Amino acid sequence: MTVPNIRIFKCIADLRKFRKDCWIKDLSVGFVPTMGYLHEGHLSLVRQSLEQNDVTLVSIFVNPSQFAPHEDLDAYPRNIERDLQLLESVVSKDRARRVAGVFTPSVREMYPSGIPLETSQQKGAFVSVSGVSEQLEGRARPQFFRGVATVVTKLFNIVEPTNAYFGQKDVQQSIVIKRMVSDLLFNVQIHVVDTVRDKTGLALSSRNSYLSDEVKKQASVLYRSMTGARSLYANNGNLTTGELKSSIEKTIVGENDKFEIDYVAFNYADTLEYRNNPSH
């Protein structure tokens, strides 16, 4: 594979050697963990890292432990060549910095005890962040945040970043990671970067590649339903969360009556506890 400038680290020892040099030279290291199939959302995290760090590292690793056996681990989109080309094209505003390296570890090295997808069969060490992992996404995907917290712990132990970048799009994930970093005393600063959307308002996502253009257009109703509820509330501060929820649900089902809603919920931004009143 010929992608100039970017170094590809396929094993942990090589990445650690590189990181040791950064320590010796006293260079700050920004880190952007991803599962690849990159788009502008990922690149905005990379850009912020380039502005704020001497060295930027990106990982591309489709993490098995966050997928349930019935989910799309095998089908998850992958295109490492294209990812590397995209990363190669990103430069800091002063054009002085580019991505220094991409870490593409193997499943075997990341999970030395093995990683069957069935949690009851999993052996070894895992990281759970109680209180913020069980609600919202965690309700539909009970092993998801344990998988995310575990892989991010492993990646932090390898990369030892000064700063790490996560997307607001996955808001619960960013809250889980912040809580984990604070409770487990990781020596890293977490930055949460705004969601990048297409012109219809749909948040960019690697999994959007599963959708036809028609469904993608319809899926932007998620954004429209939420901004619609925000305007309703701005005009009438007496509305309850129940009323705002039903306005959101009505807008979504009005777009396509085949859409099934997993949940619409109002939660506190730091604890993720459910809230009954939007104003307090």
Q: How far is the CB of 71 from ligand AMP (least distance, A)?
A: 14
Q: Is 53 in contact with 30 (CB distance < 8 Å)?
A: yes
- What is the maximal distance between C-alpha atoms in the chain? 60
Q: Of the candidates 161, 155, 188, 193, which has an alpha carbon nearest to the alpha carbon of residue 174?
A: 193
Q: Would you say 34 or 225 has its CB closer to ligand AMP?
A: 34
Q: How far is the CB of 98 from ligand AMP (least distance, A)?
A: 19
Q: Would you say 47 or 97 has its CB closer to ligand AMP?
A: 47
Q: Is 78 in contact with 36 (CB distance < 8 Å)?
A: yes
Q: How far is the CB of 203 from ligand AMP (least distance, A)?
A: 5
DSSP secondary-structure letter at 136?
A: T
Q: Would you say 13 or 215 has its CB closer to ligand AMP?
A: 215
Q: Which residues pair with 189 in a beta bridge?
A: 163
Q: How far is the CB of 26 from ligand AMP (least distance, A)?
A: 27
Taking the alpha carbons of 228, 231, 232, 237 in that order, is the dihedral positive or negative?
positive
Which one from 42, 70, 191, 280 is the annotated catalytic residue?
42
Q: Would you say 139 or 207 has its CB closer to ligand AMP?
A: 207
Q: Would you say 56 or 241 has its CB closer to ligand AMP?
A: 56
User: Rounded to whole angstroms, how far apart are CA atoms 192 and 15?
Assistant: 24
Residue 134, both tokens: 């069980």
Q: CB count, 10 Å around CB of 54?
A: 15
Q: Reduce the DSSP state of residue 144 to 3 states and report it.
A: helix
User: Rounded to whole angstroms, how far apart are CA atoms 97 and 99?
Assistant: 7
Based on the residue annotation, tell me whether 70 is a catalytic residue of this protein. no
Q: Would you say 38 or 244 has its CB closer to ligand AMP?
A: 38
Q: How far is the CB of 180 from ligand AMP (least distance, A)?
A: 14
> Residue 41: exposed, middle, or buried by beta-carbon count in 10 A (0-12, 13-18, 19+)?
buried
User: Rounded to whole angstroms, how far apart are CA atoms 225 and 165?
Assistant: 28
Enumerate binding residues for ligand AMP (CB under 6 A).
34-35, 41-42, 44-45, 166-167, 169-170, 193, 195-196, 203-206
Q: Is 169 in contact with 203 (CB distance < 8 Å)?
A: yes
Q: How far is the CB of 167 from ligand AMP (least distance, A)?
A: 2
Cite the active site residues.
42
